[in-house]
Amino acid sequence: MDYPHILFDLDGTLSDPREGITRSVQYALAQLGIDEPDLARLEHFIGPPLLQCFMASYGFDEATAWQAVNHYRERFRVTGLYENRLFDGIPALLERLVSQGRTLYIATSKPTLFAEEIARHFGIAGYFRRIYGSELDGTRTDKAELLAHLLETEGLPPRSALMIGDRKHDLIGARRNGLDCAAVGYGFGSFAELAAEQPTYHFATLEELRLAFG
């Protein structure tokens, strides 16, 4: 694990945003006349781009899906963003990686504006050289596009970096950019989902991930 650059997904990899995301999706659906009392049924929204997830899950056309995204953001930017918690051991892992001389980045489909505030609020922003996310208009919500942008902007050779994530989108995006990738099993992707993408590494727990770095 001698990669000098480590790229982290945010939701499901660094933090558990379950409550904030599902409650904000629930709110958005309610604004469109859809009652969904079971938050567990909305957990599949954690990770993928919201617009596409609303379209796939509820058959919305793009215009209606954008209405849902905007309703989601009404609640998320004020309340849902803070209904979140770092996974136990994340600050210690980031401290270890930085002490080893590695450069860290966040690469998330979440809008950069929200990702930066989450990192600031939970006290981990200082570990990262830069936080890369999408734009509010949907630009770079696709993980492959986002990672290509990060690599080009930072001038990183693909073989020098490792992408760490908990959903197939992270692994697919890494593969399309020539990056090695580590799947983590403590997030929101199932074992089958992650194994199907044949990641370079697969760590079931955060402790396994930590130990991989010595």
List residues with catalytic annotation.
9
H helices of 2-61, where?
Answer: 18-31, 50-58
Q: Which neighbouring-strand residues pair with 16? A: 85
CA distance linking residue 207 with residue 176, whole number of Å: 28
CA distance linking residue 179 with residue 171, whole number of Å: 9
Residue 101 backbone dihedrals phi, psi, to 5 degrees: 90, 10
Instruction: Note whether 190 and 173 are within 8 A (CB).
Output: no
Joined together, the tokens standing for residue 31 give 């604004």
Q: Which neighbouring-strand residues pair with 172? A: none
